[in-house]
Amino acid sequence: METFSYVKAPNVEKALASADGAKFIAGGTTLVDLMKLYVETPKTLVDINLLPLDKIEKLPDGGLRIGAMVRNSDLAWSEEVKKSYPVLSEALLSGASPQLRNMATTGGNLLQRTRCMYFREPSAGTPGGYGCNKRTPGTGCAAVDGFNRMHAVLGTSDKCIATHPSDMCVAMAALEAVIHVEGPKGKRTIAFADFHKLPGETPHIENALEAGELITHVDLPKPVEGAKSTYLKLRDRASYEFALASAAVVARVEGGHIRYIRVAMGGVGTKPWRSREAEAALMGKPANEAAFKAAAQAALAKAKPQKDNAFKVELAKRCLVRSLKTATATA
Ligand SMILES: Cc1cc2nc3c(=O)[nH]c(=O)nc-3n(C[C@H](O)[C@H](O)[C@H](O)COP(=O)(O)OP(=O)(O)OC[C@H]3O[C@@H](n4cnc5c(N)ncnc54)[C@H](O)[C@@H]3O)c2cc1C
């Protein structure tokens, strides 16, 4: 780890004033790892643990405001989240371990970086190290010709095939969350779908944040009346493991037909993967296995498997079909 200076910000104003060339540290559960691996080498850490951003509040329009410093455990076990947004609670509880969730924050989870082993290799992107366009643009992508069992099949480019690792973000994509940020140019909001970026030609640009911007909170829209939601995560072992494939579904069925549907997938995309193709295939259709299978087919139609991860295509389809069955079950 390289040396760095450390500042504890007492309020948002001070945090923003200290942010130039610095990194915010929240739970530290991923940033400190990345610093030890020389992936991140900030000169200054601005500790944001004193900021008053740790509340979960009902909004007047029926939505929910989640402070950026709300811990993953507190969010998952919130009565309001369990009752009105079960998909989010289930996604959070499927991630990491209880100890990590007690530290990890909403803002930090949004900004966690890929677990691609080439990206996390200390020498990646340096002469003699593995190529990694995320670490150093123009050095190539070792994963494309390397071992890529855990890598993405959707949203990849020839520059990067790294999977986005978050579970929470998959649920938030299906819930159409809105991210609020504050920075040197003031406050703004970013729709969840626009927050994470596809790798394209610039895999080192991972999100829509500008230099020095702080995530202050995330808003969830009012729960959809009569809708049910669920999160299913498939992985190599039952806990403490990242997804091979996951699905978040929010659905409302009336008279046996699907009248509202949101679908997002994890473990398969280079960003939390909202599947508008699956939604289009399901909307207005009878809630039955044939429709679910057609939606899964549509969701994965553009999948580009690599040499070690073709199994993810079928796995993701089955994951989605099972989630759709759960979310639309009438009993
Ligand atoms: C062993 C292990 C297993 C894990 N398994 C899973 C899993 O199965 N599923 C899953 O989803 N996640 C998993 N995680 C990741 C975990 O969810 C993240 O480490 C955690 O959510 C990050 O939150 P944090 O508050 O600790 O972030 P930090 O480490 O403090 O920060 C992460 C990044 O976010 C930035 N940041 C933090 N807060 C803000 C803010 N408010 N505004 C702007 N920038 C900010 C930091 O500068 C940094 O770049 C795992 C982690 C570990 C170590």
Domain ranges of the chain: 1-48, 228-328
CA 248 to chain centre: 12
Q: Is the CB of 108 under 6 A from ligand 1?
A: yes
Q: Is the CB of 68 under 6 A from ligand 1?
A: yes
Distance 32 CA to ligand 1 centre (A): 10
SS (H, E, C) the chain: CCCCEEEECCCHHHHHHCCCCEEEECCCCCHHHHHHCCCCCCCEEEECCCCCCCCEEECCCCCEEEECCCEHHHHHHCHHHHHHCHHHHHHHHCCCCHHHHHHCEHHHHHCCCCCCCCCCCCCCCCCCCCCECCCCCCCCEHHHHCCCCCCCCECCECCECCCCCCCHHHHHHHHCCEEEEEECCEEEEEEHHHHECCCCCCCCCCECCCCCCEEEEEEECCCCCCCEEEEEEECCCCCCCCCCEEEEEEEEEECCEEEEEEEEEECCECCCEECHHHHHHHCCCECCHHHHHHHHHHHHCCCCCCCCCCHHHHHHHHHHHHHHHHHHCCC
Q: Tokens for 286?
A: 């009878």
Beta-carbon contacts of 276 under 8 Å, excluding residues fewer than 6 positions away, are none
Considering the four listed CATH numbers 3.30.390.50, 1.10.1200.10, 3.30.70.260, 3.90.550.10, the one that applies to the domain covering 228-328 is 3.30.390.50
Span 24-51, pLDDT tens digits: 999 999 999 999 999 999 999 999 999 9
Query: Mutate which of 25, 29, 46 to test ligand 1's pocket (most atoms within 8 Å of Cβ)?
Result: 29
Distance 292 CA to ligand 1 centre (A): 33
Q: Is the CB of 12 under 6 A from ligand 1?
A: no
pTM strictly above 0.75 = yes
Half-sphere exposure of 277 (CA within 13 A, CB side): 16
Question: Dihedral, CA atoms, 201, 203, 207, 211, nearest 10 degrees?
Answer: -90
Query: Mutate which of 4, 31, 46 to test ligand 1's pocket (most atoms within 8 Å of Cβ)?
Result: 31
* CATH architecture of structural domain 1-48: 2-Layer Sandwich (3.30)
Distance 85 CA to ligand 1 centre (A): 21
Return the ligand 1 atom nearest residue 235 CA: 8
Q: Please check whether the two domains, 1-48 and 228-328, share a CATH topology.
A: no
Query: Mutate which of 11, 47, 88, 100 to test ligand 1's pocket (most atoms within 8 Å of Cβ)?
Result: 100
Return the ligand 1 atom nearest residue 33 CA: 53
Query: Mutate which of 16, 73, 112, 195 to test ligand 1's pocket (most atoms within 8 Å of Cβ)?
Result: 112
Distance 103 CA to ligand 1 centre (A): 9
Return the ligand 1 atom nearest residue 30 CA: 29
- Please tell me the distance from the alpha carbon of residue 243 to that of residue 296, in angstroms, as a whole number: 17
Return the ligand 1 atom nearest residue 72 CA: 21
Beta-carbon contacts of 120 under 8 Å, excluding residues fewer than 6 positions away, are 34, 37, 39
Q: Is the CB of 24 under 6 A from ligand 1?
A: yes
Return the ligand 1 atom nearest residue 53 CA: 41
Distance 3 CA to ligand 1 centre (A): 21
Q: Is the CB of 67 under 6 A from ligand 1?
A: no
Distance 275 CA to ligand 1 centre (A): 24
Print pLDDT tens along the chain (331 aa): 899 999 999 999 999 998 888 999 999 999 999 999 999 999 999 999 999 999 999 999 999 999 999 999 999 999 999 999 999 999 999 999 999 999 999 999 999 999 999 999 999 999 999 999 999 999 999 999 999 999 999 999 999 999 999 999 999 999 999 999 999 999 999 999 999 999 999 999 999 999 999 999 999 999 999 999 999 999 999 989 999 999 999 999 999 999 999 999 999 999 999 999 999 999 999 999 999 999 999 999 999 999 999 999 999 999 999 999 999 997 5
Pairing of strands 22-25, 44-47: parallel
- Please tell me the distance from the alpha carbon of residue 192 to that of residue 173, in angstroms, as a whole number: 6
